[in-house]
Every structure is written in structure tokens, then in C-alpha cells.
Amino acid sequence: MEFQFDLIVVGAGSGGLAAAKRAASYGAKVAIVEVNKIGGTCVIRGCVPKKLMVYAAKSKKNMDSSEGYGLKSKGISFESNILLKNVREEVSRLSNLHRSSLSKLNVTIFEGLGRFITQNELEIICPKTKKILNKVSSKKILISVGGIPKKLNIPGIDLAWTSDDIFELDRFPESILIVGGGYIACEFASIFRNLGTEVTQLIRGQHLLNGFDKDLSSCLEESPTFNEINIISNTQLNSIKRVNGDLESTLDSGDKLLTNNILIATGREPNLLPLNLEFLKLKMDGQYLDVNELNQTSNANIFAVGDIIKRPNLTPVAIEQGRVFADNFFNDLKRKVNYENIPKAVFTIPEISTVGLSEKRAKEIYSEKNIRIFKCKFTPMSNTFKEKKSKCMLKIVVNKLTDKVLGCHMFGETSSEIIQMLSISLNAGITKKEFDITMALHPTISEEFVTMYS
Ligand SMILES: Cc1cc2nc3c(=O)[nH]c(=O)nc-3n(C[C@H](O)[C@H](O)[C@H](O)COP(=O)(O)OP(=O)(O)OC[C@H]3O[C@@H](n4cnc5c(N)ncnc54)[C@H](O)[C@@H]3O)c2cc1C
């Protein structure tokens, strides 16, 4: 059978764009199918617009607390409509940049929803009219359709927002209930609170950021921002209803809350349903597509990258998977994705960043007696003249037997920039002794990483 393309990529997000561009750069005839704006979650409704909002929140926080430095900042107002409009313009600019780089590489763009009709063919459907716009065939097909927010199955759920809706708002609400304690929930709680919204956060467990090193979540809970957030723990949302212009939430305790809006941030799931995959009987790993080290599904010509496979759901991971796929199948480079020491951040104010094993995980793997913890917590110099002083925390997890550094964790300003660099050292197998013989750069927060002795 003659195919129209060497590769069709379904989904023009982080993983799909990376794979399409890399394969096309090797001379492959590539098409990409996208039902929404080119760019995917990261560019359109994730990392990028969120981080721009974090910058807005940081600017406001700095202005609010600048009097100690002699800067009079009373009377500052925040106009959320300006921020939201600027964020949307930047997102469109980035989306257009991706579109033009695809065109330069001769990648054909199909706008619409991709749906499998055979193992090598897709139909492209208009999401509004449901009309079939095109039928396309390819030797290889890469699925990179990403995730969607999980919906709670409770009465009135359609009244609530998901993170996707936040970027479409005209203005920020005066009060919001955020349901969830993961990184997306915490980031939005921090953005909204620091920009003046009254925030209540509802979490199912006892603490925020389940799965992160315990000291990091404690620092966040004790921070000035989260002290201003009404955190309701060990509780779930039972129903939502509209009361006049506001939303009334009923909790499983029977308590009721009235807020302008509700954001549900209780996790994400792979967006596989519209693809019509059932007849292909691809092997699954729970709700994710099962793939081998080459990102190949149980069908040798169908591949998957990004948030639809059971790997850390992060943009750099999806991009690397897409590039490695193209390097292997369109240039025979025999590469693998390195999943060791993937750095992660939570862009609250201050931010949380982490690489390697948490203290708890290290003790589970190597036994408590073989783990040594180095930790310090202090008020950074930048907070000296501030009224509300946030502390920072740095922590190193070390294997006593080998002196290898197993994990580095930090709560504090610019921790993401610091931990990104430390992840190189961890990947190179750095020991605690090598931290100790490294000269400090003074005065910084990160110098504590090389001056912590037991
Ligand atoms: C609010 C938020 C904040 C985040 N912040 C960060 C962060 O700070 N750092 C980080 O690393 N990660 C972050 N992430 C996660 C990151 O965005 C994802 O891990 C990454 O985008 C996954 O890339 P992907 O290629 O798998 O899919 P996506 O980027 O989601 O792209 C999938 C694309 O496929 C399209 N699509 C879906 N179905 C079809 C179909 N049938 N036909 C055609 N097109 C289809 C979608 O419209 C979408 O454009 C965040 C996510 C969210 C929601």
C-alpha cells in the first residue's frame, strides 16, 4: 500500500511538535493533525500562560512588600483583564511561531480531530460540524494527544472551571474555591491569592503536594501566601449549585461554602477516547498507552509520547520522547530517553523545586540507617525588610555508604533555576564530598548547598 506520508503526528503539543519537526528535518514527509491551537497544553493552557501569571503575582507581591526598602507603593491596583489579554496575545504569538517553523520544514498541517479508521489511516473531523474533512494515510503514526483535566462525578460539576478555563477569563474572580492539593492546584492558589483573590483550597488528604518531600509541603503550608489561604483538609466536594450569581459548594462534612467560582484541579487523564483506538486493541498500562523503550505501542507502526504514557507528565519529558522517537526511526541514532533525575518545580511563591529521591523514598530504598540528611531553613536576605518573611529550606539526601547525593530539594525564590543546574550534578553521580569542596558564591541562598555540614 502506498502511503501519503512517512509520519502522521496526532496532536501538535510538546511531544508531537518535537517529533514532527525532528523527523521532517531528516527529510521525512510529515503531517501533523491538531484540533485546537498549535502548541498544545504547555503553550496554550499550561506552563507558559501559567508562568506569565506567576510573574504577575511575584511583581505584585514584591511591590506590596517594598516599603522597607524605602519604596512607597501604596495604591497599586491590579487589572486582571490587562494581564489576561497580554497572556493570550503572547500565547498566540508562540502558537504562530510553531506554525511557521512547521511550514518552513514542509510539515503539512491538518486542522481538525484525528480519528483512526485503519492502523495506517486517519480521518480528520471538524469538531463543530462532525463532518469528515480529510482522510490521510501514513506508514507510521505517532499519537501525542496529551491529557485533559479529570472531571469529578458530582451534581453541578459543569458550573465549575478546569485549569483550561482560567486562561479564557476576562477578569479574575474576587473569591474562588480550588479543589485539589497537587501542583496545578497549589500554583493557581498562589497566583490568585497573591493577585488579591480570596482563596479556599479543598484537599482530600491532610497535606498539600502529596508525593513531594514532606519538608517541602510543610514549608509551603507555613508560607505567608498559604497562611492567607483557607485550606480545608480531609474533605471532599459533594455538589455545586448556583445561588444568585455565586456558586455554593456542599462538602462531605455537610458544610457549605459560597464563592464566585470554583476551580477543579484534581488531576489529569489521557485524552484517548476521541481517537477511536478500540479496534486496534493496543496494549494499555492502566489508563495509559503501553509503550516499549522506543515509544512503540503493541502495534509496531503506532507510537505514543507525552502525557498519554505512564511517565512523568512534563513538557521536557514529552519533547525528549518526541525527539528520541524521530532520531531512532528517521535517523537510526539508537537513542533512549534518560528518565533519571528529572527536576520538577511547583511555581508557587516562593517556589518548590526538587530532583532525585525524597527523604522518605531514599530510606525505603536504601534503609534508614544508610541515609544521611543535610538540611537548613532560614530567612533569606531578600526578606530582611519585609513585613511577612517567608523562610527558605534546602535539603540534601545522601547515601552514607557511597557518599552519592540521591536528592536535592529546595523551597525558596529561584529554586527552579538552582535545582535545574543541580540535576546535571546528580546525573553525573556527584558525591557530598564534591559539594563540600566547591567554593560558595556569597551572598546567595544556594551557597548553603555547598556549606551544609553535619
Ligand atoms: C495548568 C498546567 C500547568 C502545567 N505546568 C507545567 C510546567 O510548569 N512544567 C512542565 O514541564 N509541565 C507542565 N504542565 C504539563 C505539560 O503541559 C504537559 O506535560 C505537556 O504539555 C504534555 O505534552 P503532550 O505532547 O503529551 O500533549 P499536549 O501538549 O497536551 O498536546 C496535545 C495536543 O493534542 C491535541 N489533540 C488531542 N486530541 C486530538 C485529536 N484526536 N486530534 C487532533 N489533535 C488532538 C490537543 O489539542 C493538544 O494540542 C502543565 C500542565 C497544565 C495543565
Residue 454: band (very low, low, confident or very high) from pLDDT cuts 50, 70, 90: low
- Whether 83 is in a domain gets the answer yes
- Whether 339 is in a domain gets the answer no
* Whether 411 contacts 393, CB under 8 Å: yes
Residue 359: band (very low, low, confident or very high) from pLDDT cuts 50, 70, 90: very high
The SS3 of residue 347 is coil
Boundary (domain end) residue, out of 238, 266, 294: 266
Say yes or no to pLDDT of 442 above 80.
yes
Amino acid 447: pLDDT: 96
* Whether 137 contacts 120, CB under 8 Å: yes
Q: What is the mean pLDDT of residues 287-310?
A: 98
442 is catalytic: yes
Atom of ligand 1 at shortest distance to CA of 114?
Answer: 42
Amino acid 386: pLDDT: 87
Specify whether 318 is located in the same domain as 411: no
Q: Are strands 288-289 and 284-285 parallel, antiparallel or unpaired?
A: antiparallel
Q: What is the dihedral of CA 413, 89, 98, 341, to 10 degrees?
A: 20
Amino acid 298: pLDDT: 98
Residue 356: band (very low, low, confident or very high) from pLDDT cuts 50, 70, 90: very high
**In this structure, how many other beta carbons lie within 10 angstroms of the beta carbon of residue 174?**
12
Please name the residue that has the C-alpha cell 464566585: 260
Q: What is the mean pLDDT of residues 129-146?
A: 98
- Cα 9 to ligand 1 centre (Å): 14
Residue 143: band (very low, low, confident or very high) from pLDDT cuts 50, 70, 90: very high
Ligand 1 pocket test, candidate residues 21, 36, 42, 123, most atoms within 8 A of CB? 42
- Cα 248 to ligand 1 centre (Å): 31
- Whether 394 is in a domain gets the answer yes
Write a three-state SS string for 280-340.
HCCCEECCEECCCCCCECCCCCEEECHHHCCCCCCHHHHHHHHHHHHHHHHHCCCCCCCCC
Closest CA to ligand 1's atom 26: 306
Specify whether 226 is located in the same domain as 371: no
Specify whether 285 is located in the same domain as 393: no
Boundary (domain end) residue, out of 240, 266, 292: 266
What CATH number does the domain containing 426 carry? 3.30.390.30
The SS3 of residue 177 is strand
- Whether 298 is in a domain gets the answer yes
Specify whether 19 is located in the same domain as 124: yes
* Whether 26 contacts 158, CB under 8 Å: no
Segment among 37-46, 68-77, 135-144 with least mean pLDDT: 68-77
Amino acid 1: pLDDT: 78
Segment among 64-73, 139-148, 309-318, 369-378 with least mean pLDDT: 64-73
Specify whether 210 is located in the same domain as 276: no
Q: What is the mean pLDDT of residues 388-405?
A: 96
For the chain, give the percent of residues with pLDDT over 90.
94
Specify whether 439 is located in the same domain as 398: yes
177, 201, 268, 437 from 230: Cα distances, Å: 9, 6, 24, 44
Amino acid 389: pLDDT: 87
- Whether 337 is in a domain gets the answer no
**Can you give the pTM of this predicted structure?**
0.97
Atom of ligand 1 at shortest distance to CA of 11?
Answer: 34
Write a three-state SS string for 193-240.
HHCCCEEEEECCCCCCCCCCCHHHHHHHHHCHHHHCCEEECCCCEEEE
Specify whether 180 is located in the same domain as 47: no
- Whether 237 is in a domain gets the answer yes
Name every protein residue with a CB atom under 6 angstroms from any ligand 1 atom: 10-16, 33-36, 40-42, 46-47, 50, 113-114, 144-146, 163, 184, 271, 274-275, 306-307, 313-316, 318
Give dist(CA 311, CA 96) in Å, integer.
29
Express each pLDDT in 169-223 by its tens digit.
999 999 999 999 999 999 999 999 999 999 999 999 999 999 999 999 999 999 9
- Whether 338 is in a domain gets the answer no
Say yes or no to pLDDT of 433 above 70.
yes
* Whether 267 contacts 182, CB under 8 Å: yes
What CATH number does the domain containing 230 carry? 3.50.50.60
- Whether 117 is in a domain gets the answer yes
Closest CA to ligand 1's atom 7: 47
Specify whether 130 is located in the same domain as 158: no
Amino acid 387: pLDDT: 84
Specify whether 374 is located in the same domain as 327: no
Domain that holds residue 166: 151-266
Specify whether 372 is located in the same domain as 295: no
Specify whether 315 is located in the same domain as 261: no
Amino acid 65: pLDDT: 83
The total number of structural domains that make up the chain: 3
Express each pLDDT in 103-136 by its tens digit.
999 999 999 999 999 999 999 999 999 999 999 9
Say yes or no to pLDDT of 75 above 80.
no
Specify whether 221 is located in the same domain as 273: no
Say yes or no to pLDDT of 231 above 90.
yes
Amino acid 76: pLDDT: 84
Express each pLDDT in 245-276 by its tens digit.
999 999 999 999 999 999 999 999 999 999 99
Amino acid 362: pLDDT: 98
Q: What is the mean pLDDT of residues 344-361?
A: 97
Atom of ligand 1 at shortest distance to CA of 44?
Answer: 49
Boundary (domain end) residue, out of 279, 298, 331: 331
The enclosing H or E element of 84 equals helix 80-104
